[in-house]
Amino acid sequence: MKKSLAVLASILIIFSGTAVSDEKPPIKYGLTLDYTKSYVFATPSVSQAIEDYRNYLNARGGINGHKLEILNSDHGNEPQRGIEAYERKKREGAIVFEHFSTPVSKAVLPKAMKDKNVLLQTLTGRSDAADGEAFPYAFPIAPTYWAMAANIIQYIENNTKDIKKTKIAFTYLDFPFGQEPIPVLQELQKQLGFELKLFPIALPGTDQSGVWSGIRRFKPDYVVAWSISSLHNIALTEMTRNRIPIEKYISVVWASRLDLKSFGHERAKGVKRVEAVATGTEIPIIQEILKMYDEGKGAGPRENVGTVYYMGGIAEMSILVEGAKLALNQFGEPLTGEKLKKGLELIRDFDANGVMAPVTITSSDHQGGGKTRIAEWDGEKWAPITDWEAAHTELVWKTIKEHSAKFIKENQ
Amino acid sequence: MDLDWWYIGELVVNGANAGLMYSLVALGIVLIYKASGVANLAQGALVMTGGYVVLALAYDAGLPMWLVIPLSMVILFFFGMGIERIALRRMAGQPLIMIIMLTLGLEILLRGIVPAVWDRGGESPIIPLTLPADSIFIGDMLINTSYLLGGVIAIFLVILFVYFFRTRIGVVSRAVSDDPVAAWSVGISVERSIALSWGLAAVVSAIAGALWGSIQGVDWTLSLLLLKAVAVAILGGLDSIIGAILAGFMLGIAENLAAGFLDDIVGGGTKELVVASVILLTILIRPHGMFGREDIERI
């Protein structure tokens, strides 16, 4: 009896061993985010989206049979911790990374390029990393702030009788994120002839009263705001106080439904923002993810699903998965950083079924075309009021090339 | 260049009111210094805590604002007393610098813990202090009603505290501050007096937290008011309530004028330069501030 049990056990071990060896190894994704310092306004939603998408994907067999494994940790927006986390996850087998932090992405970039690992940096990191020739392993896969600024000016141009008589106030957080669009705006001012005035907001951005007094006196036709999170709430309160119509407010991509909550969703009607991704819960993939929430399998609060930060995570995952599929189909197993890079560069007109603007990534363009649209808050949701488009692309690419050339020169 | 007098007027009036609100935060530093001779570097976090308590009572508990403010003052009073009882009292007899470092540690601890306890998922709600209007216009000059309310309350509280230090309890507090050993030897409860000062500083923090939270929303950045409060307290004199109010008034106007005229030119951040300059110049030129008591020690 004992002997036959041992034989049976041996057979089971042999077969289960075969089953394990048949299972394809996971694709490891190093996700180190800032969960504790500067980016906490967005990271919980981004992380939630990535985990939801991973669960959705793996439940359907993963990427060509490879499960996606996320190696998650916190870097606190500190470059050194980010580098340590990158090295640790690299040792654990990750071939693709996201840090969702400009200082950390910048610090990790040279290492990722040397190691030939893919560095995703959606809406963070170096904007000139859009230049795939200079930064072959960095993938912003979203419009740069230069592209967003240019597209906003195009919207204003399309909606004003005479752009030369139009006054645009640019209010921005006075650090690199806020300052970045200034050269493009100033160049467009020269080309188009509108009046531009800059209104810097000192960090942390909570004291804006003096800034809005100045803006009121400038009497702008539009206010373009490079701000984040709850600072929009303060800006809109000050606009109301100064009797500046809030319909004139056009925000950078970082304005969400949640950010308007304190100001009042009904009161915020007419506020505009530039969008790099679609938002809301009507998108097919979001409908599928919400079914997981109905079963109690969501990765976080249900109200985050479909917000701009959440959709940023979904867009990134959609592109990553598409790139990985193309790489595996075209270049075969095993998936490496080099193959994934080439796979991402094969993506053409991909919008993940309504998640974002159609994206085309090439070996020279890693931002994917730079298309955005303008959406307006209608009291309940962000309603698109333009199509996806990329404007003033020559100027945007001239700016990208100027900056990437500096990087190449400094690193020769 | 034509001067825009309406603009200057607006900068001065709103700067003065904002400065008076800095004074409100600085009062917490002055009260504790007057009673115990300790510079309280946890005042920024106390204001932030006050803001969060007001928010929790108003939003989470759904209480009306007329009840929220007094209730939060009571809660903060006991919170302040509790800090003194649990942390500060153990430090009796320890070097002064270590007590100051303890308050700095408290500031850092509260900055970390309080927003985590009342995590609002990245939202920084503005406290709804219902005012008749957001702003008043006189000609082309905007007067921010939130700042105006803050300024009026700050003056009211200063008058209250000036009288408080003339009451029996107030005189006892001053005696403790002057010479704690002598006060103790004549039967004064030094501990109770210092605890009371922490309680009162926390009460002021609840009011400051509510007022500042009605302008910039409630999140950890409220604690950054510490720097402005320190500048006000140093300029006014660490033990002078009147000094705090005048210094706040001056600092508010100076930084608003600087920001209004220089930010465009230098690209922002001049308010912080004004604050830093005030701290440095006061310490270098007049270390005891405008109205602080100058102690001369014989050696």
Residue range A144-196, pLDDT digits in tens = 999 999 999 999 999 999 999 999 999 999 888 899 899 999 999 999 999 99
Name the residue facing B256 among A204, A210, A217 (closest C-beta): A210
Question: Coil, strand or helix: which one is A224?
Answer: strand
Give the pLDDT confidence of B14-69 residue by residue, as tens digits. 999 999 999 999 999 999 998 888 999 999 999 999 999 999 999 889 999 999 99
- Residue found by looking up tokens 């500083």 in the block: B201
A237 interface with B at CB cutoff 8 Å: yes
Tens-place pLDDT, residues A293-342? 999 999 999 989 999 999 999 999 999 999 999 999 999 999 999 999 99
B186 bridge partner residues:
none
Pick the CATH number of A146-275 from 3.40.50.40, 2.40.110.10, 3.40.50.2300, 3.20.20.140: 3.40.50.2300
A143: nearest Cα among A312, A348, A260, A280 = A312
Verify whether the Cβ–Cβ distance B264 to A198 is below 8 Å.
yes
Cβ-contact A307, A258 below 8 angstroms: yes
In a domain, B31, yes or no: yes
In chain B, which residues have their Cβ closer than 8 Å to the Cβ of A211?
Answer: 263
Asked if A214 reaches chain B (Cβ–Cβ under 8 Å), the answer is yes
Q: What residues of chain B have any CB closer than 8 angstroms to a CB in chain A?
A: 4, 7, 10-11, 14, 18, 121-126, 134-135, 137, 140, 142, 144, 147, 215-217, 219, 221, 224, 256, 259-260, 263-264, 267-269, 271-272
Q: Are residues A202 and B219, on separate chains, in Cβ contact within 8 Å?
A: no
* Tokens 């490879």 belong to residue: A66
Per-residue model confidence (pLDDT) at position A15: 46
AA identity, residue B278: V
- Tell if the CB–CB gap between B260 and A44 is shorter than 8 Å: no
Q: Is residue B244 part of a domain?
A: no
Neighbours of B24 (CB within 10 A): 30
Instruction: Read off the pLDDT of each residue in A230-244 and give the average, rounded to a whole number.
Output: 92
Report pLDDT digits (tens) over B256-291: 999 988 887 887 778 989 999 999 999 999 999 999
Residues 6+ apart with CB under 8 A from B137: A243, B143
Q: Which pTM was predicted?
A: 0.85
- Please report the sign of the dihedral spanned by the C-alpha atoms of residue A8, residue A9, residue A10, residue A16: positive
- Is there a domain that residue B270 lies in? no
Q: How many angstroms separate the CA atoms of B270 and A79, rounded?
A: 28
Closest C-alpha among A122, A125, A69, A119 to residue A340:
A119
- Architecture of the domain delimited by A25-143+281-361: 3-Layer(aba) Sandwich (3.40)
Range of the domain at B159: 14-119+131-221
pLDDT digits (tens, 9 = 90+) for B114-155: 988 887 766 788 888 877 677 899 998 999 998 999 999 999
Task: Give the pLDDT of residue A243.
Answer: 94
- Report the pLDDT value the prediction gives residue A13, as an integer from 0 to 100: 47
| Least Cα separation, residue A262 to chain B (angstroms) | 5
- Residue B147 placed within a domain: yes
Q: Give the residue extent of every domain in chain A.
A: 25-143+281-361, 146-275
Chain A residue nearest residue B127, CA to CA: A262
Topology alike, domains A25-143+281-361 and A146-275: yes
Query: What is the C-alpha separation between B94 and B102, in angstroms, rounded?
Result: 11
Question: Does residue B74 fall inside a structural domain?
Answer: yes
For chain B, how many structural domains are there in total? 1
Answer whether residue B283 is part of any domain. no
Q: How many angstroms away from the CA of A241 is the closest CA of chain B?
A: 5
Residues of chain A neighbouring B272 (CB-CB closer than 8 A): 202
Whether residue B56 is contained in a domain is answered as yes
CA distance A308 to chain B (A): 13
Condensed to tens digits (0 to 9), the pLDDT of residues A336-382 reads 999 999 999 999 999 999 999 999 999 999 999 999 999 999 999 99
Nearest CA in chain A to B55: A262
- Residue A364 CA to residue A134 CA, distance in Å, equals 8
Nearest to A261 by CA among B129, B214, B123: B123
Q: Are strands A68-74 and B141-144 parallel, antiparallel or unpaired?
A: unpaired
Kindly state whether A241 is in contact with chain B, defined as any CB-CB distance less than 8 angstroms: yes
The fraction of chain B above a pLDDT of 90, given in percent, is: 63
Task: Tell whether B163 is covered by a domain.
Answer: yes
Burial track A317-335 (b if 16+ CB lie within 10 A, e otherwise): bbbbbbbbbbbbeebeeeb
